Amino acid sequence: MSGYAAVLRHVEAELAAGRLTVGAQLPAERRLAEDLGVSRPTVREAIRVLQALGVVRSGVGSGPDAGTTVIADPAGGIAAALRLHLATRRLPMADLVATRALIEGAAVRAAARAPGHPDLDLAEDLLARMDEPGIDADTYHQLDADFHVALTRAAGNAVNTAVMTALRDAIHHTVLHAVASLPDWPRTAARLRREHRAVLRAVRAGDGERAAALVVRHIEGFHREWTRHVSPG
């Protein structure tokens, strides 16, 4: 067992045993190194990996934000992996969009069975903020992403939410670049907002099938639009 893997295994075991929970602090790096009989750089390698996977967060100084804390950001880790593999061109963007449509379609279908979910109120609020005139594309897309995540979260499946968030995050920069070359962004944005509202309305009405169909069309339609204007151009 290499030193680096030993640290990782140790932390995972502590988590699995419940001796380490979300919000708790890891021992200091120097302490951990001594306890496990490895050097501090080795400990740091393992902690960096945990950081990348969204399991811990590190902060310098003192106080509650300092030290290494256990968090739970599964989407962060998955998004990082997806983004890197997108860069290697081994994960085609089209497949990524298809998976997102699949998951989000299923999510809104499930969400329609709980039309009073608080996350739907949040989604409504986000839609209102997207309506503000003169909003810049960057802010718009952040709100757009948050809307889709809120919708998915309303379905109550944490894994779906994490994967969906990761998929959205992984393509965020790509989307930002793509919309910059669209011929008529305000017109597109207006259409997207209409589609958002239609999806949310269907969910609130309890019509899961309609909501799923609309959201899939929304996602695939937008994807077709920006690939058409960015790949050939």
Partner DNA sequence: ACCAGCCCTGTGGTCAGACCACAGGAGGTG
Partner DNA sequence: CACCTCCTGTGGTCTGACCACAGGGCTGGT
Q: Residues in the site for a copy of itself, rule: CB under 8 A? A: 4, 12, 15-16, 18, 21-22, 41, 44-46, 48-55, 70, 72, 74, 77-78, 80-85, 87-92, 95-96, 98-99, 102-103, 106, 157-160, 162-163, 167
How far is it, in rounded angstroms, from Cα 201 to Cα 112? Answer: 10
CA atoms of 179 and 227, how far apart (whole Å): 10
* Residue 91 C-beta: closest distance to a copy of itself, Å: 5
Residue 7, CB-side half-sphere exposure with 13 Å CA sphere: 26
Stretch in the footprint of DNA (CB under 7 A) among 42-50, 73-81, 84-92, 182-190:
42-50
Of 16, 17, 19, 63, the one binding DNA by CB under 7 A = 63
200-220 in b/e form (b: 16+ CB < 10 A) is bebbbeebbebbbbbbbebbe
Nearest to 152 by CA among 194, 203, 88: 203
30 binds, among a copy of itself, DNA, none (CB under 5 to 8 A by kind): DNA
Q: Which position among 11, 20, 26, 216 is part of the footprint of DNA (CB under 7 A)?
A: 26
Tell whether residue 28 is a contact of DNA (CB under 7 A).
yes
Per CB under 7 A, residues contacting DNA are 2-5, 26, 28-31, 37-42, 44-45, 47, 58-63, 65-68
